[in-house]
Chains A and B, each alone.
Chain A
Amino acid sequence: MATDQKNNHSKTPFFDPMLPRSFRIVRFQQETAETFSIELKPVSGQKEFFFEPGQFNMLYVFGTGEIPISVSGDPTKPEVLIHTIRAAGNVTRSMNNLKVGDSIGVRGPFGASWPIKAAEGNDVIIVTGGIGLAPLRPVIYHMLAHREKFGKIVLLCGTRTPKDIIFHKELEKWYAGAELEVHITVDTALPSWRGNVGVVTTLIGKAHFDHSRCTAMVCGPEIMMHFTVQELQKRGVDNKNIHVSMERNMQCGIGLCGHCQIGPRIVCKDGPVFCYEEIKGVFTKREF
């Protein structure tokens, strides 16, 4: 039921969690008009950056500000740290203007991870909305690297339009391969689009997985997660097997400042990945 890990830095040497380390951008990839990925390497010190899928870092654009961003790279390749970001606010827009060779501050990794250990032996259904695919990409990398440990793996992705699909090439590769069942849908499209049209929740009925023995991982806008959870529940998926990633105003990253409190939970420390059973009382409640 619980997520696999809470602030486990076992593989990472001790760093002051409040002190950003300097990293350099070694690759910049524009994913869509609004979304980009940056690959980072540390300027000095330990060359590898270990994290668990679902964990996030506080990324600091010097002189502008700091924001929490989930790691979107491959946990089996700790030599490069990848984040995928949507340019939506002051800090992320500044980040979008950075170039290869520029420096950025990194604190982390923080937070709880997706329950990949607990999911072993089960079918896995991953439902993403928009940039919600980014925090779940490390899970897919992990599961593909340990394919024999999991049952069916289903990936359902929803975005606004075909132009907003991130990780195009990988999705095409996964779609063509036999290791994942992939369904993609967009909210609206022109006739040149050959895929599904409609909201991501409509894909759940088309997916092939064992509803009674599955682990569901859901990431996207909270309202999308709300309807996705309802759709999973309708099909008999237990709340204890549904996991969601929450987004709140995370600032310190270590549960001290309280800015990201949601009911009795602190998102940066207890989350951002939560078992739905643990947070159903506060999920999408307007008071929180």
Chain B
Amino acid sequence: MSDSEKKIRGWFGGGRLLWPVLSLAALLLFNLIFAPSFFHFEIKDGHLYGTLVDILNQGSKVMLLSLGMTLVIASGGVDLSVGSLMAVAAATGALLVTKTSLPFGIVVPACLALCGLFGAFNGLMVTALRIQPIIATLILMVTGRGIAMLLTGGQVITFERASYVYVGNGHLFGLPFTTTIVLVTLVATLWITRRTAVGLFLEATGDNETASRFCGVPTARIKVLVYAFSGVCAGIAGLIASSNIKAADANRVGEMMELDAIFAVVVGGTALTGGRFTLVGSMIGALLIQTLTTTMYNLGMPPAIAPVPKAIVIVAACLLQSAKFRDALRGLLPRRATT
């Protein structure tokens, strides 16, 4: 194996991408056969339109959340608060553009910094107070949405500021602007984790925290950092979600999205037990959810039924990662196992 191959393996997560890629390919193949219009593209006003473009656009929020979630899960934790933090970001953003004349270039970093702080709070609960991640982030999951509603006074705040509206509705290079946001965030995250030692420290911490600490890895700092990063990702997703509808509805923004993000990460091949992670896999996982939803919609099934195949996929992904299940399968196929 050459050096560059090793590098690529590190960046893309080695062999863990097999199942997610196969599932996505199978789903696309299904659509190619039964719904060819799925692959139909159209260029209007220099912008590309089509089902696949919609999937990219609508999946952007979960893709962003799952970037942060991947790192949190790699550290051996989980972050339930991202959906609520989306609401916080949306509320803050909408308030700042409607109630103040701050330039949007300041509003965005302000919202993201706030969400990053909330994320760091999660991280401190997990590291300094040693509270289980599920519980620590549950607190902000419950409180965060309340804070967002407090900020908006329970109202749906609408806004017209063009720069804000552009975030979720504009086009760049013929594609929805959200695609660019996801791409830039993905590349930046890949760069930070793989071109610095953060990725190594994170995987080492998730794989064996004690051993990493004994090696001098700053495990606590790394953990706080990933929770803060997860908060920032939630902030970006929240701004997009509010921009999509030109309004901040603190009650609904990001509802249940934390679960979709965890789903994307697990289906993408990163184990909930921590350690090795693959950001690209999580992206594929997020696209898989969105494609699944869109496919069902195209088939004329009510969108409300979409959770059922999702449930099947997540349980299947868990079973594939379970050693016990593989043992049980081997037990069912004794001949193949012995020969």
Q: Do A and B come together as binding partners?
A: no
